[in-house]
């Protein structure tokens, strides 16, 4: 497709300097990935601006640089015959539209789920249900691209960047994929990574303290999540809402204001109402009122939040076509790797690995495990570096409410001093609380120590990294798996 056609179809007001019309071969937001006949989006990042790197493009011909109208074009490039400049009000908006035009797809149904916790599990469940129904579907999120055929595309982000999103959709479309479910992160929504996609079904799980290093306030965080229900919907979009979330009213009102059909779930719901959840030995008895009928489900899982996630996934898949007999599918669903995953259950000792890395997530996982623990509940966890610092101490305080022994260790320190992170986690704690805490920076030694503490009827939770098989320390990616490490020590028990 020619550059002029992409610009015209984007329907964005532009100012063109050094106009060229070449056959476009690719689009990039990274200068080192640009080649001849590419469109390059020069966006402002946290530390750099894309314009700082356009000198790297001199080796190529036919380059279109998209920049904001407030940005200045470097003098050396103003008369360069190989570079055309496209000035727009919003670079992210233009580039997202250009991607949707260049990387066309024919996916029949697109779903997106947002919320602080539960996105990965729900998208994983949705994919499982599709497989049971022989539907060709895929999920895109924290676990990568989950599809029956391998896709050689990797993203380090929960919601991939805008170019990769559209590339992935095009590739899935070519492979015959019919339906896709996205994890829509607040940062991804704020950065227009999912633009200009309009989803058929959107979902909201919950909203709790997280990502405040980026959003600064809970209100900003909430508004970023709300973009899924304002910028990514169409006339017939269905919204699936957890009524038992503290912020559910905000999202319900937003949907009503925008005439979006609501299918809710929870104890306060009208579509799928949870009447009661009761623990019975090793399973939950869940009573539901649905389609004017009382339905009782037996679900073998460890936590109530897993039940909410499973019910949400059912509505996302079936929506208005959900039947009472479909509810039984939840008993067949398996958790994704690293989500309250039981890795050991012998000699009266149980061990779990979970991805919990927010105060609310750690609280829910620990309180759930506490209910099934007759001995000690032992926790190993840390906090990530270069991330929300405000939640570190809060997470430890929540952990103290439910754990008998806590070992604080390193998570992914990245470029931060690991000791400083650990110090933040135990700052201003009472001496009485500190007696329950051991600080061991080396994660492997911390896990070994926790396993040594275990005796009959005890439960161990290793939290924060879940499925991850690495640690990020400065600019190095060290191979490390909580699951593999713990299993090695546990088999000696």
Q: How confident is the model at residue 211 (pLDDT cuts 50, 70, 90)?
A: confident
Q: Model pTM?
A: 0.91
Contact 96, 168 (CB under 8 A): no
How does strand 405-408 pair with strand 437-439? parallel
Output the CA torsion sign for 356, 358, 359, 364: negative
Separation between Cα atoms, residue 416 and residue 420, nearest integer Å: 8
| Count of alpha carbons within 13 angstroms of residue 297, beta-carbon side | 28
Neighbours of 429 (CB within 10 A): 15
Confidence class for position 77, pLDDT limits 50, 70, 90: confident
Token output for 289 = 């009122």
Measured distance CA(103)–CA(164) in Å, rounded: 10
Percent of the chain residues topping a pLDDT of 90: 89
How far is the CA of 415 from the CAs of 358, 445, 481, in angstroms? 20, 21, 20
**pLDDT for position 348:** 94
The pLDDT score that the predictor gives to residue 419 is 98
What superfamily does domain 104-332 belong to in CATH? Mur-like, catalytic domain (3.40.1190.10)
- Asked if omega into 185 is within 30° of 0 (cis), the reply is no
Contact 42, 65 (CB under 8 A): yes
- Its CATH architecture, for the domain 3-101, is 3-Layer(aba) Sandwich (3.40)
Q: Is the pLDDT of residue 153 over 70?
A: no
Per-residue pLDDT reduced to its tens digit, 427-478: 999 999 999 999 999 999 999 999 999 999 999 999 999 999 999 999 999 9
Average pLDDT, the chain: 95
Question: What is the Cα–Cα distance from 459 to 444, expressed in whole angstroms?
Answer: 18
Domain limits, the chain: 3-101, 104-332, 341-490
**489 backbone dihedrals φ, ψ, rounded to 5°:** -80, -35
Question: Is pLDDT above 80 for 47?
Answer: no
| Residue 55 pLDDT level (bands cut at 50, 70, 90) | confident
Q: Could you tell me which CATH number the domain at 341-490 has?
A: 3.90.190.20
């Amino acid at each position: 497709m020619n550059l002029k056609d992409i610009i015209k179809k984007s329907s964005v007001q532009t100012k063109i300097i050094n106009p060229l019309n070449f056959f476009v071969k690719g689009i990039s937001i990274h200068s080192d990935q640009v080649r001849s006949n590419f469109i390059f989006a020069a966006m402002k990042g946290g530390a750099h601006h894309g314009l700082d790197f356009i000198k790297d493009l001199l080796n190529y011909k036919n380059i279109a640089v998209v920049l904001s109208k407030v940005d200045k074009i470097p003098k050396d490039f103003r008369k360069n015959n190989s570079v055309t400049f496209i000035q727009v009000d919003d670079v992210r908006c233009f580039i997202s539209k250009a991607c949707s035009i260049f990387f066309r797809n024919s996916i029949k149904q697109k779903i997106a789920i947002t919320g602080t916790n539960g996105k990965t599990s729900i998208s994983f469940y949705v994919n499982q249900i599709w497989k049971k129904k022989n539907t060709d579907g895929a999920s895109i999120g924290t676990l990568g691209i989950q599809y029956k055929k391998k896709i050689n595309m990797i993203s380090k982000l929960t919601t991939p960047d805008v170019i990769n999103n559209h590339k992935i959709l095009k590739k899935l479309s070519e492979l015959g994929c019919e339906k896709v479910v996205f994890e829509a992160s607040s940062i991804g929504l704020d950065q227009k990574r999912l633009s200009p996609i309009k989803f058929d079904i959107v979902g909201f799980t919950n909203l709790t303290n997280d990502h405040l290093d980026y959003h600064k306030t809970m209100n900003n965080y909430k508004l970023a999540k709300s973009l899924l229900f304002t910028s990514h919907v169409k006339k017939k979009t269905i919204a699936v809402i957890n009524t038992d979330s503290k912020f559910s009213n905000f999202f319900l009102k937003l949907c009503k204001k925008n005439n979006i059909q609501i299918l809710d779930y929870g104890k306060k719901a009208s579509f799928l109402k949870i009447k009661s959840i009761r623990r019975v030995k090793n399973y939950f008895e869940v009573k539901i009122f649905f389609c004017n009928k009382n339905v009782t489900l037996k679900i073998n899982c460890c936590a109530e939040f897993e039940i909410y996630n499973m019910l949400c996934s059912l509505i996302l898949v079936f929506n208005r076509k959900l039947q009472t007999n479909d509810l039984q599918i939840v008993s067949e669903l398996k958790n994704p790797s690293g989500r309250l995953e039981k890795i050991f259950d012998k000699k009266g000792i149980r061990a779990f690995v979970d991805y919990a890395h927010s105060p609310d997530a750690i609280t829910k996982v620990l309180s759930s495990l506490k209910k099934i623990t007759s001995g000690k509940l032992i926790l190993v966890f840390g906090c990530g570096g270069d991330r929300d610092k405000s939640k570190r101490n809060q997470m430890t305080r929540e952990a103290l409410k439910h754990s008998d022994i806590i070992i604080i260790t390193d998570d992914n320190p990245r470029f931060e001093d690991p000791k400083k992170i650990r110090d933040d986690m135990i700052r201003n704690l009472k001496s009485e609380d500190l007696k329950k805490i051991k600080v061991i920076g080396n994660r492997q030694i911390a896990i070994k120590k926790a396993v040594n503490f275990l005796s009959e009827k005890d439960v161990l939770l290793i939290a924060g990294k879940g499925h991850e098989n690495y640690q990020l320390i400065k600019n190095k990616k060290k191979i490390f798996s909580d699951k593999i490490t713990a299993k090695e020590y546990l088999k000696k028990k």
